[in-house]
């Protein structure tokens, strides 16, 4: 295995160096696409175990060609629970066949990576 060292001034990192660091420090996992149908003016995010259930950090982008909001997230290996938050309302992923009961007595969608 070859090891590359980027020469950069201490106060200035190069873009190439940053990319090398991201590749070498990568966590095993996979890219997962999430999508949900909602009206074009909606605010749609995804919250789950992968972002500490924060309903604001992962917004989905509207795709008018098919009417879906979509986001692709790189998730580490394991099982992840999640819900969509559409205009402040938490909802299951209707396209996902796997669910788990949560501490609030409702269900979460589940994806295994």
How does the average pLDDT of the chain come out, rounded? 83
How far is Cα 103 from Cα 113, in angstroms, rounded to an integer? 23
The model scores a pTM over 0.85: no
| pLDDT at residue number 25 | 56
23-27, 32-36, 61-65: least confidently modelled range: 23-27
| pLDDT at residue number 27 | 74
Q: pLDDT above 90 covers what percent of the chain?
A: 75
Please check the confidence at residue 97 and state whether its pLDDT lies above 70: yes
Domain boundaries in the chain? 27-112
Domain 27-112: CATH architecture, name and number where available = Sandwich (2.60)
Q: What is the phi-psi region of residue 60: left when phi exceeds 0, alpha when psi lies from -120 to 50, beta otherwise?
A: beta
Asked if 47 and 88 touch (Cβ cutoff 8 Å), the reply is no
Q: Taking residues 56-79, what's their average pLDDT?
A: 96
């Amino acid at each position: 295995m070859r090891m590359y060292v980027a020469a950069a001034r201490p106060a200035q990192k190069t873009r190439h160096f940053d990319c090398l660091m991201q590749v070498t420090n990568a966590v095993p996992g996979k890219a997962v696409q999430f999508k949900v149908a909602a009206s074009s003016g909606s605010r749609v995010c995804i919250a789950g175990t992968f972002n500490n259930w924060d309903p604001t950090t992962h917004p989905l982008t509207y795709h008018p060609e098919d009417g879906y909001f979509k986001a692709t997230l790189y998730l580490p290996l394991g099982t992840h629970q999640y819900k969509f938050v559409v205009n402040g309302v938490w909802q299951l992923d209707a396209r996902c066949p796997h669910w788990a009961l949560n501490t609030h007595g409702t269900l979460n969608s589940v994806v295994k990576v």
